[in-house]
Amino acid sequence: MPRTIHLALHPYGVGGPGQHGLWKDPRVAKNASIDINYYIRQAQAAEHALFDALFIVDSQFINATYPAHYLNRLEPLTLLSAVATHTRHIGLVGTASSTYNSPFNLARRFASLDHISGGRAGWNVVTSFDTGTSKNFGLDEHLDYATRYGRALEFVQVARGLWDSYEDGAFPADVERNLFLDPARLHALDHEGEHFKIAGPLNLSRSPQGQPVIFQAGVSEEGRDLAARVAEGIYAPGGSLQQAQDYYADIKRRTAAHGRDPEHIKIFIHGGPVVAATDEDARRREREIFEEDNDFERNLALLGRSFGAYDFSVHDLDAPFPDVAHLAEKGGRTGAAGIIERAREQNLTLRQVAESVTEFRRSPFVGSPHTVADTIEQWFEAGTFDGINLAFRTDDDLSLFVDGVVPLLQKRGLFRTAYEADTLRGNLGLPVPANRHTREPQLAAD
């Protein structure tokens, strides 16, 4: 079958990083980020347009400088469980930290969402970007990079083992034989590794899709390797067409090197389309959006997130960029290293760095519906993504894309005209993982 594009929706609520002024828009409810009906409407609109998934981001640390949406938002799995009961087909992907959770509890929560939704759950595995999170969990220091990624790998392996606790047919519920459970089909995990010691089994059977779909956002070497080893979906950094091509090829190569089928990992780039009647109107609106959100103090605070929520306002803005390399190791190391290197090479002041990090950059997906559809097709055919994780500022913007761009992609055979399956795996074209306890005896017999 020909390749087709996958689409996911990432709600902005009242505005995340780079949308500092969104909450002021009269079309945006001031309580959107904590209104479950807002998310239900978003999910239903995306499902009506045949999107693959609703994607909910999360973090567990804030201070007063953080974006509006971060300051007051719902916990992802609670949110998605409510959305599940108002939708039938769209996947439900929630972000949860492998650093600040325990495998048994998190595996059970995602498996519960998988059952509630009939096999539509996905887990976006993060190692936690904000160093201040440690103090919300009784720890003085955030774990270093290597430890966080080693823990993440083992965490996913443990979760998958727990999700295999019951084989199919484990519950005959045979009244005549007085047999509710076939004990031979229940398996303890008995895992003992570097980071976890977990007995199991999980007290929940597998869902129609076998296991929740694993997503990850790998940028660093450690992140890319983790993604290639365990992820089935990736949220990619995007950038220019060439950068997106390079990332796509690198992840597919790494996936194959780990003995996996590269087609079993779907790469989503970020897209914030601006659609209008004409290209000129769309470009003008794109610039207006930038000016609405271009708040220097907020941008300076946003810069600090890469360095453990560091307060750059204590420095002279017009002095050379301060030496903060030691703060990057436990935070957003890859992004922070790039900022430091650029500041050093170009001899930039703190003000210049803050302005450059948030300077106006034209998006490729801006224009009339035909222009946006043409660009999406060009990027897709050039091998830059399997899907796009779409973010829209308002319901009106979502409607412009759904009513204007989606039909054009469908006419070109690039996007579905009906859901292929009832599960997230089925719609992404991913296989149902075999239960390890069912598979191993079959292999032995072969």
- CATH number (domain holding residue 214): 3.20.20.30
* 289 domain-assigned: no
Q: Which helix (H) or strand (E) holds 97?
A: strand 91-97
| Cα–Cα distance for residue pair 446/438, rounded to 1 Å | 13
Structure tokens at 86: 């108002």
Does 155 lie in the same domain as 43?
yes
CB 9 within 8 A of CB 57: no
Alpha helices in 358-393 (DSSP H): 369-381
User: Based on the domain organization, do 433 and 329 belong to the same domain?
Assistant: no
Please name the residue that has the structure tokens 């559809």.
373
Where a domain ends, among 357, 377, 406? 357
Q: Which residue ranges make up the annotated binding site for FMN?
A: 58, 95, 149, 220
Query: Mean pLDDT per segment of 10 residues, for the chain of length 446 residues?
Result: 92 90 94 98 98 96 91 98 98 97 98 98 93 90 89 98 97 96 97 97 96 92 92 92 96 96 96 96 95 85 81 91 79 76 89 84 94 98 97 96 98 98 97 86 41
Burial of 321 (0-12, 13-18, 19+ CB in 10 A): buried
Cα angle: 11, vertex 297, 398; to 5 degrees: 20
**Does residue 93 sit within a domain?**
yes
Question: Are 353 and 417 in the same domain?
Answer: no
User: What is the rounded distance in angstroms from the CA atom of residue 122 to the CA atom of residue 93?
Assistant: 4
Nearest by Cα to 212 from 97, 143, 109: 109
Tell me the C-alpha distance between 198 and 192, whole Å: 6
Last residue of a domain, one of 357, 375, 405: 357
Cβ-count burial 142-165 (b if 16+ within 10 Å, e if not): bbebeebbbbbbbbbbbbbbbbbb
304, 322, 357: which is the final residue of a domain?
357
β-sheet bridge partners, residue 233: 215, 266
Whether 314 and 260 map to the same domain: the answer is no
Q: Tell me: do 268 and 122 sit in the same domain.
A: yes
Known binding-site residues equal 58, 95, 149, 220
- pLDDT of 331 reads 58
Distances (CA, A) of 75 to 36, 394, 443: 11, 21, 41
- 376 and 318 fall within a common domain: no
Q: CA-CA distance, 338 to 328, in Å (whole number)?
A: 10
* Residue 92, domain member (yes or no): yes
Pairwise CA distance, residues 70 & 152, whole Å: 23
- 285 domain-assigned: no
- Burial environment of residue 265 by CB neighbours within 10 A (0 to 12, 13 to 18, 19 or more): buried
In angstroms, rounded to a whole number, what is the distance separating the alpha carbons of residues 126 and 231?
A: 11
Q: Does 210 fall in a domain? A: yes
Same domain (yes/no): 107, 173: yes
User: Residue 184 carries which side chain, given as an amino acid letter?
Assistant: A
**209 and 313, same domain (yes or no):** no
Alpha carbon distance 95, 117 (integer Å)? 17
Under 8 Å between Cβ of 343 and 325: no
In a domain, 304, yes or no: yes
Tell me what pLDDT residue 443 has. Answer: 40
Query: Contact 411/405 with Cβ under 8 angstroms?
Result: no
Does residue 415 belong to any structural domain of this protein? yes
In the chain, the number of structural domains is 2
**Residue 106 and residue 116 in contact, taking contact as beta carbons nearer than 8 Å:** no
Domain of 66, in residue numbers = 6-279+362-442
Q: Are 222 and 350 within one domain? A: no
Using a cut of 0.85, tell me whether the model's pTM lies above it.
yes
Whether 102 and 42 share a structural domain: yes
* Cα–Cα distance, 18 to 358 (Å, whole number): 8
Residue 362 CB neighbour total at 10 angstroms = 10
Are 326 and 193 within one domain? no
Q: Report the distance separating Cα 253 and Cα 228, nearest Å.
A: 9
Helix, strand, or coil here: 127? coil
181 and 37 in a common domain: yes
1 lies in some domain? no
